[in-house]
Structure 1
């Protein structure tokens, strides 16, 4: 394999000049740049990234930490980060945070100890103030969920608007008893979606009923238990707003009755093939991932910029058949 010294010898320049050409130094004369680049191609020169890493003290990889790497939504974010990072010649290190907030710090510290070029994280924990000591050395961007106790660049969906939009859609179909089924209500995503759900009910003059809120639905057993409980209420719901794609999938596994209308937050593969096809609040996880990577590189270029920005992306409703079930006595 050709080395930088081999390229320098063939081109008749110093190794430092080869390095400057490879790194895009604008002060290299155009004719010198063209000649050195031609020699690089002839020798099929590939830079020694490991040596570069040791010299700079930074990794040539971006860390990506998401709650569940097999969840379609978070997998799409991770895939978009990887694609965008590769366009910059940087690899990614992907890790699974799981849904246990207590594990988050240890996992992230392990990643950060690698002296990453940057970190993109969809957090699960309840305190991120400990990350302050890493901010000056590692550009970090949060996606999907805002950090707690830390000012950082963040890209999220408009969760409150999505909760409102989905619930309002069910109200417009005549429903007055609408259940909320979600998971970890301490996370900013669910806090905001639940707030949107409640705002829609309040605006419609519908009394809030905490008995209709089912939290911590995280597996088939808890989904079945939640369905059993809310259907057993003296005045059971005629509709359900599902706060995330996983809850929606679990409701399908638990065989939510076709007589109950459903709107879910977040599309997922085969949602349109369910019977009835699921109406969803649609997000763009790929855009979240791409924007996060661009912000990481922007921070790396301008490390002294202190202002941290939060960007909220719009969501839309995709109407299918699951929302079209009308309540008894309506229509």
Structure 2
């Protein structure tokens, strides 16, 4: 296998210049880049990743820690991060945190022990202060959920504003009895989305009714029980707002032939194929994954840049059929 020094000798440049060409340094002259790339091709040069790791003191990989890789939302984020990392000649190491907050630290520190280039994380606990000792060595970006008791870069969604828009959309459709169905009432994202639900009702002069709020829904059985509970009310809802895609998926099945309108926070595969197709607040998980990965590389390139940077992303409404009063059925053929 050819070495960097052999490529440098053939191209008539230094080994450092070869490294700069391989890492796509924009300051390399075009003619020099062409000469070096020709030498790389002639020698079939492949960089020694292990040697690079030893020199940099890091593994040439981004660590990704999300609650559940089976969840389409987090799977899309992980794929987008991997695409950006590949563009920088790196890999990704991905792990699932699960739903136990007490397990978060152990899982993430085992990942950090691999001496990562950077860490992208969606936390499940309510305290990340323990990550402070890792920050000097490893750039970190939080996604979907901001860090708590830790100063770090983050990309989150406008959970309050998006929920206000979703519920207001249903109100504009003349619905006044709007149920809220959520998953984990302790998650900061769901706290904010529930807050947005209440704010939308208040803005339109609609009293908040706690009987219309059902949580801990993420499976078919809990969704069926939630819908049955809502229909048993003396004054049942005519519309439903679900707080996340994981809840929306089983709720659409439970609402089959119910006639209730629905808006979900977060899109998911085949949501547009349901009958009726599901109106959603679109989080665009691929976008947040790309932005987070690029932020890691920006931090590496400019470690003295403004810190921290907290970016809040809009969640636009994607109006489909379900926000009208129609029955849910099977996916469209």
Instruction: Name 1:113's counterpart in structure 2.
Output: 113
Displacement after TM superposition at 1:154 (Å):
0.9
Cα separation, partners in 2 of 1:18 and 1:204, compared to 1, 3 Å: closer
**RMSD, aligned α-carbons:** 2.2
Cα separation, partners in 2 of 1:144 and 1:17, compared to 1, 3 Å: closer
SS in 2 for 1:68: coil
The reply to whether residue 321 of structure 1 matches residue 326 of structure 2 is no
Instruction: Name 1:42's counterpart in structure 2.
Output: 42
Instruction: Name 1:239's counterpart in structure 2.
Output: 239
Instruction: Name 1:300's counterpart in structure 2.
Output: 300
1:151-175 deviation line (CA, Å, top 9, x unaligned): 2111112111111111111111222
SS in 2 for 1:119: strand
Contact 2:23 2:88 in 1 (8 A): no
The reply to whether residue 56 of structure 1 matches residue 56 of structure 2 is yes
The reply to whether residue 272 of structure 1 matches residue 243 of structure 2 is no
Instruction: Name 1:190's counterpart in structure 2.
Output: 190
Cα separation, partners in 2 of 1:255 and 1:200, compared to 1, 3 Å: closer
Q: TM-score, normalised by structure 1?
A: 0.91
Displacement after TM superposition at 1:218 (Å):
2.0
Distance 2:38 2:102 in 1: 53
Contact 1:230 1:237 in 2 (8 A): yes
Distance 1:14 1:286 in 2: 39
Give 1:7-156 correspondences, 5 Å limit. Answer: 7-11=7-11, 15=15, 18-19=18-19, 22=22, 34-156=34-156
SS in 1 for 2:311: strand
Contact 2:82 2:91 in 1 (8 A): yes
Unaligned ranges ≥5, structure 1? 327-331
Cα separation, partners in 2 of 1:182 and 1:41, compared to 1, 3 Å: same
Q: TM-score, normalised by structure 2?
A: 0.90
The reply to whether residue 253 of structure 1 matches residue 241 of structure 2 is no
Contact 1:245 1:264 in 2 (8 A): yes
Distance 2:27 2:320 in 1: 58
Instruction: Name 1:329's counterpart in structure 2.
Output: none
Cα separation, partners in 2 of 1:175 and 1:55, compared to 1, 3 Å: same
Cα separation, partners in 2 of 1:36 and 1:254, compared to 1, 3 Å: same
Instruction: Name 2:331's counterpart in structure 1.
Output: none
Instruction: Name 1:217's counterpart in structure 2.
Output: 217
